[in-house]
Chain A
Amino acid sequence: MYQSGVKERLAHDEWAAVMHKIASDQDRKAFAKLFAHFSPKIKSFCMMLRSQHTSPQMADELVQDVMIKVWTKAEYFNSDKASVSTWIFTIARNCRTDYLRKLKRTETPLVADDLWPMAEEEAPFASLEQHRIEKNIHHALTLLPPEQAEALKQIYISGKTHAEVASALGLPLGTVKSRVRLAIAKLRISMSELLAEESEAEPTDATGSSKAAGAELEP
């Protein structure tokens, strides 16, 4: 567990270094590396959207939209506020929203970046802890019970509402809500445990409090 944490941190910092090369030197080789790693991830993220509009063509267009933004907005990436994968996720989420909105052809001056301001624009309340929290979420997610991880995945990746997840899984809405709530609570507990572990010389028992939140509430 400790080792995988170190490895993830290394990867996190390395990708941040790649982003800084792109931002400061317009380094095309660094961008190609980022593209090789992230474009398949963005593509499958887009392909997993549950929508009548989902198609390989849509996914390819979105990969292009997202990577253009990564290149043109690279200077705004701040590794203190978000990991590269979270930053790219927020760009992909916004591009996906704009893509679907354009298909509906509704008249509005709003674009997704107005409704979901990207981390760099939220400067006034930047959290110093964010950098460490991010690194630990990644690990904590792997410890979630599968049904809770599945619920989160359907919401974040497939873009389903809680009600849609409930009908897809054949569960009452309340069950889905409690799974999601428990998952989030557990991630936050794991985060604070890992933060405590890092800051204290004596490691604390990492299993105690996550067990307390472990029971699934089935109505």
Chain B
Amino acid sequence: MPRLHPDIHWLIDYAAGTLPLSHALCVAAHTEYCSSCQSKVRELSAIGGSLMSTDTGTSNAAEPSASEELNEDESEALNKLWAAIEQAKVAQSDTDATRPVDQANHVNTLQSETTAALPTCVKKLLPDTMEQLNWKKLGRHLSVTQLASGDTQREVALHRIHPGRGVANHDHKGEEVTVVLRGSFSDQKGIYLPGDFLVMQAGHSHQPVASGDMECICLSVLDAPIKFTGPINRLMNPFLKIHPSPAPA
């Protein structure tokens, strides 16, 4: 069970559906490790269900036994709906025909040692094996690969730190959200285990080191580029920028 959880406001925004997609991905990844946040989200979603059924200015006849006649517009909408459901069925049987290929891919994913333990929502963004990703080296022991989350304002990436190795001391110019997916790392403040959810504010500086037994893989979402503070690594700063999902042409 993770030790560091998203703040209640994050969970509320997640349940309400107002979090940016990249942040929602982080919360979703965390909840795959955390049963307590899962049940909180379930409670918080129930608030949405209750608000939708009472506060939207429609009649509040709560009982299905009460007669609810459809007006003309509604009957027409229902007829359209049946037609759309028929169409959806046809489309579904078309996709079913192509499914064996998907399943073959799925098996590959499971066989790949490094991706097997990652959360389902993150795996959706990954190719069959970790090696197929376009890893870029940021220093000797850290590599990074951007993921297409659909968020046009933030960069979503996987970070991979070699076992027992550290990342150069760096500042955060914007907010960074990190979820540990595999292995663990530590910094001046403590040790972070799989599922741990960290929000680092702008101006925060730290020097993470992966634990010695295995490499550490983290999901991270950046608002603005990080900045290395060491004398040599500082030379890399001009080359660091965030890579959000491309905006539409």
Contacts and interface: CB of A to CB of B under 8 A. Distances in A.
Interface in A54-73: 60, 63-64, 67-68, 71-72
B63 interface: yes
B88 to A, nearest CB: 6
A127 B51 contact: no
B248 interface: yes
**Max chain B C-beta neighbours (<10 A), residue from A39, A101, A108, A157:** A108
A82 B46 contact: yes
Given A35-B81, A45-B56, A60-B77, A83 B49 contact: yes
Interface of B: 8-9, 12-18, 21, 24-25, 28, 35, 38-39, 42-59, 61-65, 68-70, 74, 77-78, 80-82, 84-85, 88, 92, 120-121, 124-125, 148-152, 245-248
Given A90-B49, A149-B55, 16 more contacts: A17-B64, A34-B64, A35-B74, A37-B64, A41-B53, A44-B57, A82-B49, A89-B49, A89-B51, A106-B152, A106-B245, A109-B124, A109-B148, A114-B120, A160-B18, A162-B13
28 contacts: A11-B62, A18-B64, A32-B70, A45-B52, A81-B42, A88-B49, A89-B52, A90-B48, A90-B49, A93-B17, A96-B17, A97-B17, A104-B247, A104-B248, A105-B248, A106-B246, A107-B148, A109-B125, A110-B25, A110-B149, A115-B21, A125-B35, A130-B42, A134-B46, A155-B13, A155-B18, A157-B52, A161-B18
Interface of A: 7-8, 10-11, 14-15, 17-18, 28, 32-42, 44-45, 48, 60, 63-64, 67-68, 71-72, 81-83, 85-90, 92-94, 96-97, 101, 104-110, 112, 114-117, 119, 122, 124-125, 127, 130, 133-134, 137-138, 141-142, 149, 152-153, 155-157, 159-162, 177, 180-181, 184, 187-188, 191
